Structure formats: structure tokens, C-alpha cells
Amino acid sequence: MQTPTEADRTAEPPTRRTPLLGEPFPTLSVETTQGPKTIPDDYAGQWFVLFSHPGDFTPVCTTEFVAFERRREAFEELDVALMGLSVDRVHSHIKWVEWIEAEFDVDVSFPIIADEAARVADRLGMIHPEMGTSTVRSVFVVDPGGTLRLTLYYPMEVGRNVDEILRAIRALQTADEETVATPANWPDNEDHDDRLLLRPPSDEAGAEARRSEADEEGYDCRDWWFCTRDR
């Protein structure tokens, strides 16, 4: 019987499921328009957004890259780095962003992964067979600890709302910093404006404490499990 080598023991299986929310983002070595990178290691200590597009020199993708770059400073203010990806080659990416700068006066300054063999796309579930062989419009938001916090998928014919991605990241960061949750449409909720939701107590003692402390802490409570507070 043949004894497995160390490489055999450490090799990844040929296919692995897409990472789920709350799990570590897989370590991937990639080639980009700004040279080789390793994710998430090269972004340790900061948030990053990895988003894929079906192809260079396509109308919807072009409008998305313009939108991401125009809001890049807003991402940077949140300490969020951007990284694009498609199965095109590096030289195609470079020529495309040159065209974008010439036509829209927008200099795309974030790196774009050239995933010619679809290795990264397969690992992250970016290719959906019923939608073709190109990457769908995937969005992965990863926190400073390398944990996957948000995943979005859009079909090829629907461009992404970049402002919604920014809103979701602000909500995630606020929830982490304040140990709270955020309501629908936050910070413009129809009933609560930008107020934050307290996380429900986990036991009877906590529920009773919430009832007694609501007035003292300035909470607005509809019930012990539904309380809001100012930011």
C-alpha cells in the first residue's frame, strides 16, 4: 500500500463548496493588474470587497467599474479596499481600463484579478452554469479578520447598486462597533430613522432586565425584544 506524501495530505480537494457567511475567506494567490497578490492575507487588518464581472468591454460591467471608482474614496473612508475579477487576461483588463479613462475620464485605480483558468471563480462559486461560462456579478465583503461577512449575486443583465454595498458595509461596521443591529433601509428607516436595534436578550433574566432598564438607558421599546436607541 502506497504511503501518502505530505503534499497528498495537505492538498485541497479538487472542488470545495463556496465559503459561507461567518467563515474564513479562503486563501487565494491571484494575478492582478497590479501584480501578484494573496487574499485575504494582503488585506489583513482592513475590510475589502471582491467583486466579479462577466467580461471586459461589456456595457453593464463598464458602468459598474465607473461607479465603483467614482465611489472609491467613500470606500477608503471606511478602510475598505476594492478588487475586481473576471476570467479575462491581464492585458484585456489593462486595455479596458485605459478605454474607460479615455471615454469617461475615470482612472480605475484598484486591482483587477485575471482569472483565465476560472480557478478563483470556481472556488468562490462565481460561475453559475445556467447563466453561462462567465462569472456572474458576485460581491464578497470580507472583514479585517479575514471573515466573510456579506455575499451578493446579481444576474448578468442587472447592474449593481454600489451605494447599497457601501450602506451594507456601514451597517456591518456599526453593528460590530456598537454590538447592535440595524433595521431595514438603515439609516433611513421609515419608522426609526437612523436609530439602532438592540440585540434581543437570550434568556428570561435578560428579558426582565431589559424591561427595567429601558427608561434608564433611554431606549425606545415596543416590547422587551424590540428596542431601539440613538446612534
SS3 content of the chain, % helix, strand, coil (to 5): 35, 25, 40
C-alpha span between 103 and 121 (Å, rounded): 29
Write out the three cell numbers for 113. Answer: 484579478
Active site residues: 61
Angle subtended at Cα 72 by Cα 110 and Cα 193, rounded to the nearest 5 degrees: 145
Place of cell 451597517: 171
Alpha-carbon dihedral angle through residues 24, 26, 29, 30, given to the nearest 10 degrees: -100
Burial class (CB in 10 A: 0-12, 13-18, 19+), 93: buried
Q: Say whether the peptide bond before residue 187 is cis (omega within 30 degrees of 0).
A: yes
- CB atoms under 10 Å from CB of 108, counted, come to 21
